[in-house]
């Protein structure tokens, strides 16, 4: 069964079959095989080719409920931004003069529907709803104007964070790690999906996080301090971004702790809903 609700596409199939150009793409597993498909409503259309070049429907179709959705791309690296909304920085704090990226390990990624598992010793694990950039073309020392051509699309992410390890927030600063290696990089601390939206006018989209159905975070993506183009350009001056690489772009507002049995959902207009249970 599908692990998430993918949302509603902006168009639907006509009587002649699937669209030749999809607005959303998924990576899925069925019968032990992994493939990419275009997503239209509650139907997945397997594609030939790959997401970075020519891609066409095979003519087959699958009910979304019959496949297991995976995080929608396999990156060579995962980056994330800190402090990219004024609402998260808090009153009186000035935004950073340039993007503040950090790395999350590949092993932090988690599929839609898979549980968020707390590592031993974790005491204060928070959700962080995030808009995620998916790179489609190698970006090395690109300008802001060139950066748009290097972006394939966007997806939803949850930058799960153990605040005690990150900030020393429970038992004092002596418990704060020097680096964020486990506070933001533990296994399952990077759920991502359900789909990659291409051609999305993200400036009109809203991001929302719900914990057990209650809205906890809500913001327009137009409020991002550093937009995708400037983010990609800045990072590419030092680090070459390769097709499939992803950049989490920061979380809005305030966050709070999750516990075992919770259900956390990240929804972005035009992309869908990333839903993960919390195993604790």
| CATH code: domain of residue 20 | 2.30.30.370
DSSP 3-state of 113: coil
Q: From residue 218, how far is each of 13, 35, 266, 269 by CA, in Å? A: 31, 33, 10, 12
Among the three residues 31, 53, 70, which one is the final residue of a domain in this structure?
70
Rounded Cα distance between 83 and 86, Å, is: 7
Q: Which domain holds residue 171?
A: 78-277
Rounded Cα distance between 234 and 162, Å, is: 27
pLDDT at 176: 80
Rounded Cα distance between 251 and 100, Å, is: 13
Residues 57 and 87 in one domain: no
Rounded Cα distance between 154 and 33, Å, is: 24
Residues 146 and 199 in one domain: yes
DSSP 3-state of 40: strand
Residues 7 and 38 in one domain: yes
Among the three residues 45, 70, 95, which one is the final residue of a domain in this structure?
70
Q: From residue 184, how far is each of 44, 62, 167, 261 by CA, in Å? A: 32, 35, 11, 21
Whole-prediction pTM: 0.91
Rounded Cα distance between 242 and 140, Å, is: 9
Return all residues near 144 (Cβ < 8 A) that are at least 6 apart.
Answer: 229, 230, 233
Residues 86 and 221 in one domain: yes
Residues 194 and 164 in one domain: yes
CATH number for 203? 3.90.850.10
Residues 90 and 212 in one domain: yes
Residues 44 and 108 in one domain: no
Residues 109 and 200 in one domain: yes
For the chain, the first-to-last Cα distance in angstroms comes to 23
Quick one: how far is CA 227 from the chain centroid? Answer: 15
| Residue 270 DSSP code | T
Residues 142 and 88 in one domain: yes
Residues 59 and 195 in one domain: no
Longest CA span, the chain = 64
Rounded Cα distance between 148 and 232, Å, is: 8
Residues 116 and 181 in one domain: yes
CA angle 177, 178, 179 (to 5 degrees): 90
Bridge partners (DSSP) of residue 55 are: 49
Mean pLDDT, consecutive 10-residue stretches, the chain (280 aa), reads 37 41 94 96 94 91 98 98 91 83 98 98 96 98 98 98 82 71 97 98 98 98 97 98 98 97 98 97
Return all residues near 261 (Cβ < 8 A) that are at least 6 apart.
Answer: 277, 278, 280
CA angle 95, 100, 247 (to 5 degrees): 120
Strands 272-277 and 263-268: antiparallel
Domain count, the chain: 2
Q: How many CA atoms lie within 13 A of 209 on its CB side?
A: 26
Among the three residues 25, 47, 70, which one is the final residue of a domain in this structure?
70
Residues 125 and 42 in one domain: no
């Amino acid at each position: 069964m599908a692990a998430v609700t993918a949302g509603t596409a902006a168009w639907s199939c006509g009587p002649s079959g699937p669209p030749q150009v999809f607005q959303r793409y998924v990576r899925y597993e069925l019968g032990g095989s992994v493939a990419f498909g275009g997503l239209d409503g509650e139907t997945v259309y397997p594609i030939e080719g790959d997401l970075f070049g020519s891609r066409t429907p095979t003519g087959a179709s699958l009910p979304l409920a019959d496949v297991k959705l995976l995080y929608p791309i396999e990156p060579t690296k995962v980056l994330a931004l800190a402090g990219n909304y004024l609402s998260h920085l808090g009153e009186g704090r000035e935004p950073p003069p340039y993007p503040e990226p950090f790395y999350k390990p590949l092993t932090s990624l988690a599929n839609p529907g898979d549980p968020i598992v707390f590592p031993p010793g974790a005491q204060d694990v928070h959700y962080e709803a995030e808009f995620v950039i998916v790179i489609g073309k190698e970006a090395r020392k690109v300008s802001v104007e060139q950066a748009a051509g290097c972006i394939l699309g966007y997806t939803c992410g949850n930058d799960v964070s153990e605040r005690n390890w990150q900030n020393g927030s429970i038992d004092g600063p002596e418990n704060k790690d020097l680096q964020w290696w486990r506070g933001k990089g533990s296994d399952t601390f990077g759920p991502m999906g359900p789909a990659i939206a291409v051609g999305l006018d993200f400036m009109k989209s809203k991001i929302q996080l719900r914990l057990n159905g209650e809205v906890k975070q809500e913001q327009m993506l137009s409020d991002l301090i550093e937009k995708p183009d400037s983010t990609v350009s800045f990072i590419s001056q030092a680090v070459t971004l390769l097709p499939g690489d992803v950049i989490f772009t920061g979380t809005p507002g305030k966050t709070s702790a999750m516990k075992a049995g919770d259900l956390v959902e990240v929804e972005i207009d035009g992309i869908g809903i990333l839903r993960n249970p919390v195993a604790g």
